[in-house]
Structure 1
């Protein structure tokens, strides 16, 4: 599984982000390109300790045990998966600004590649550093495929 901590995967993701435009068309889902770029910031901010998504409901905590491994395995996520309430983006977003912020977060995340101790994810619990890198890559890959890049 590719990891956002790997320099080649990092460069691949940045290249794909840079292929997006405000007029990029989604292949599935409801978000526009700017909204997707904003949405993709949440998992990176959570990992970097820059976003508090609040305490997940007991049901979400229970359900997360059943699909935690799918966050970092080799199998691509299926289209149209539900989005956690605190990570949904419904307002229009400025594409250029969201792209700039996302690229900054991707680069900030890479800078943490040697970090040994990570705070647990609020919904999914503890991850190894390797799993953090894999799930960040997988989430970005999922949404970039959503927009055909």
Structure 2
């Protein structure tokens, strides 16, 4: 799995975002392209500690532990997987604004590539720097494929 901390993967993701069109149609799912761009900000905000999520109860944390490695392994995610309620975008969004916002937060995340200490994820616990980079790449790749980019 690629990592958003590598220059090549970072450049690839940024190029794919730049190629998106505001009228792009989803190959699956309920979001439009502008909502997808807004949605993709949330996991990056969690990693950068700009979005605080409530910790689930012990049972849910235990349950999530079975899926943790799927966040950063090489196996592609299935289409239309359920998402955390905090990451669902219901309202309409402006394409150019969301595209710019996403590119800025990706750049900020990428610039943390030398950071070794990362906070635990509120739902999944501790991740290494490598796992954070792979997880963010995998999420972006999944949604860019959703819109043919």
TM-score normalised over the length of structure 2 = 0.97
Task: Please give the residue correspondences for 1:1-149 in structure 2 after superposition, counting only pairs within 5 Å.
Answer: 1-149=1-149
Q: Aligned equivalents of 2:57 and 2:144: distance in 1?
A: 29
Quote how far apart the aligned CAs of 1:103 are. 0.1
Cα displacement string for residues 82-140 of structure 1 (whole angstroms, at most 9, x for unaligned residues) = 01111111111111111101000000001100001000000010000000000000000
Q: Aligned equivalents of 1:98 and 1:129: distance in 2?
A: 26
Mind listing any 5+ residue stretches in structure 1 that lack a counterpart?
Answer: none
Mind listing any 5+ residue stretches in structure 2 that lack a counterpart?
Answer: none
What number of residue pairs does the alignment pair up?
A: 149
Q: Aligned equivalents of 2:41 and 2:75: distance in 1?
A: 22
RMSD: 1.0
